[in-house]
Amino acid sequence: MSPHRPAGARTRRAGAAPYLFLAPAMVLFALFTALPIGYTAYLSLRRTKVSGLGLGKGARKEVFVGLANYATALGDGELWAGWLRVLGYGALVLVVMLGLALLFALLLDTLHVRFARFSRAAIFLPYAVPGVAASLLWGFLYLPGVSPVNDALSALGARVDLLGAGTVTFSMANVAVWGGVGFNMLVLYTTLRAVPREYYEAARIDGASETQIALRIKVPIVTPAIILTTVFSIIATVQVFTEPMTLRPLTNTISTTWSPLMKVYRDAFVTGDLYSAAATAVVIAAISVVLSFGFLRVVRDRAFGEGR
């Protein structure tokens, strides 16, 4: 074989190399993401048609119904009631979780903080706990009769049912905040550590305090990271499922349709209506996309408006 390859052959091999490296990820994405999404969309357009008593061969047939399942899903009051609950839950989680994440990131980035490594690990550690385990842990801390938290409140003369109808949303939000602050803090803290220290030294020479440096220099610098974490948090909040589903056996204040995804689970695996569940899942995905891109659009328009 000649050591001198044609230029065209070398170019083709060089051009194919990135696709070879991407091939495993593309195959996994197609099998475990694109294919399930496509199959869900397919199921959402169909329904089982029952003939007669539904007995015998051919009595049940899968037929194409177009957008009928979507019309049913959009007209379901339980779905929209679940959305209202999730919106209230999400507003609470987003504000508290991202606020604490930013506060901890700013505190850890200061020069005089002690035990910085231990503090970073302690704040991030809850994120490593699986959601089901975290929900069970907090569930037993909320449960009357076995909870030291309830015993402490009772000793102080305060009787609060942490799994009651008026408090269960706050209790679930606490689980999400406890588990999510660490990840968001790490993203913001990593962004701050990439900023040249000369910016802060120049501000100190000009007489700026640590608070002024944080508010006027650090916060504007990490704004893109805050936007990123907010989008991820919106998507995660819309898809809330683990916390209410895990806490539900401990209380009767969480219904089977408390969140939209819980309704999908009930329709698919309790009542056995896969087609309605598929349509509802597509609706949830569409609303998630609208909320995420809507937030990005508002942020972009505000940034460009201030720029003008």
105 CB-near residues (< 8 Å, 6+ apart): 185, 188, 189, 192, 222
pLDDT at 301 over 80: no
The partner residues of 60 in beta bridges, in order of sequence, read 50
145: in domain: yes
Helices 131-142 and 168-193 sit at what angle, rounded to 10 degrees? 130
The CATH number of whichever domain residue 208 belongs to comes to 1.10.3720.10
Tokens for 184, please give them: 């968001």
Q: By C-alpha distance, which of 152, 154, 303, 149 is closest to 226?
A: 303
Q: By C-alpha distance, which of 100, 251, 50 is closest to 166?
A: 251
22: in domain: no
Q: Give the confidence band of 110 by pLDDT, cuts at 50, 70, 90.
A: confident
Domain with 181 in it: 68-307
What are 159-184's pLDDT values in tens digits? 788 888 889 999 999 999 999 999 99
Give the SS3 label for residue 99: helix
Q: What is the mean pLDDT of the chain?
A: 87
pLDDT at 1: 46
35: in domain: no
37: in domain: no
45: in domain: no
63: in domain: no
Q: By C-alpha distance, which of 271, 265, 244, 238 is closest to 175?
A: 244
27: in domain: no
244 CB-near residues (< 8 Å, 6+ apart): 172, 254, 258, 259, 262
**How far is CA 149 from each of CA 15, 137, 143, 235, rounded to the nearest angstrom?**
62, 12, 9, 31
Of 8-12, 35-39, 183-187, 255-259, the poorest mean pLDDT is in 8-12
Q: What whole-number distance in Å separates Cα of residue 246 and Cα of residue 248?
A: 6
Please count the structural domains in the chain.
Answer: 1
Q: By C-alpha distance, which of 239, 91, 246, 97 is closest to 178?
A: 97
256: in domain: yes
